[in-house]
Each structure stands twice: as C-alpha cells, then as structure tokens.
Amino acid sequence: MKNLVEPIRSKSEIHALEEYLRQKNKRNCLFFVFGINTGLRISDILGLNVSDVLNKNFVEIKEKKTGKYKKFPLNDKLRHMIKLYVKNKKPEEPLFVGRFNKRLNRSQVYRFLNAACNDIGISSNIGTHTMRKTFGFFFISNLRI
C-alpha cells in the first residue's frame, strides 16, 4: 500500500513553514506559496516560465496531465512575491530553476519540502501533492490561508 500524502490542515503550521522557507530560500518559499494558493499540480508549476506570471493578474496554462486549458487568478500576495522574485530574470527563463540554471524537478521539490517540514516539526505524510491537497482542504473549508 502506498503512503498517501496529507494536506497541512493547520494555518499556524502553514505560516511557520512559509516563514521557515522565506528565511532559508526565496525560491522555495515562492514555490510553496504558489502551490498552496493555486492548487496546481507540481508538473504544471514546474513548467512555468517567467513570462507566464510576470505582471499578470491571471495565469493561463494547458495542464500537462489532462490537456485542459486552465485560467486562474494570482492573488495580491503571489503577485507581490513574484514581482520581487523575477526582478532580474529574463521572460523566457523557467520560473523555478535549480543548480546549473536548469528547471527545478519534482524530486528537488520533494526534498526541500520534506526537509523543511521535518525541521519545523510537521509530522504528517508530506509530499509534493501536499500543496495541492492543502489548497483543496482550505478551499472546501471556505477558509483563507
């Protein structure tokens, strides 16, 4: 049986994780905030380029898994974080890059997310899908993150 990942259900844990990531690595913080505020699959977030989000109120993508077109708003918090993050980046660059200026991959995201959760004491089953599940949990609960 697979280990199923869980959403982060506590706002205080979300805020603690965000603050921890903000202090450690701005890219990882933006990735996490992007994931929990949009509910996108990790493959769709990893496929974004700077031009997809720069100076935009909405982002339009073709989902990799389903092939469907999706248009979703960027909230004020995300727009502000994106603006600061992409300040010195070229529009054609991948939004999230790792070492050697290559596009970040899902295993790198899993590692930084898991390490951060362990460091701050979040003990639920955490994976890359946790961000999408967290978005869904708060969306269904009609709560703001």
For the chain, what are the domain ranges? 11-140
Q: What is the mean pLDDT of residues 28-53?
A: 97
So what's the pLDDT on residue 65?
A: 92
Cα–Cα distance measured from residue 134 to residue 32, given in angstroms and rounded to the nearest whole number: 11
Confidence of residue 20 (pLDDT cuts 50, 70, 90): very high
32: helix, strand or coil: helix
Sign of CA dihedral 41, 6, 116, 107: negative
So what's the pLDDT on residue 2?
A: 61
CB 75 within 8 A of CB 43: no
So what's the pLDDT on residue 63?
A: 92
| Domain 11-140 class, CATH top level | mainly alpha
pLDDT in tens, 89-142: 999 999 999 988 899 999 999 999 999 999 999 988 899 999 999 999 998 887
The DSSP call for residue 92 is T
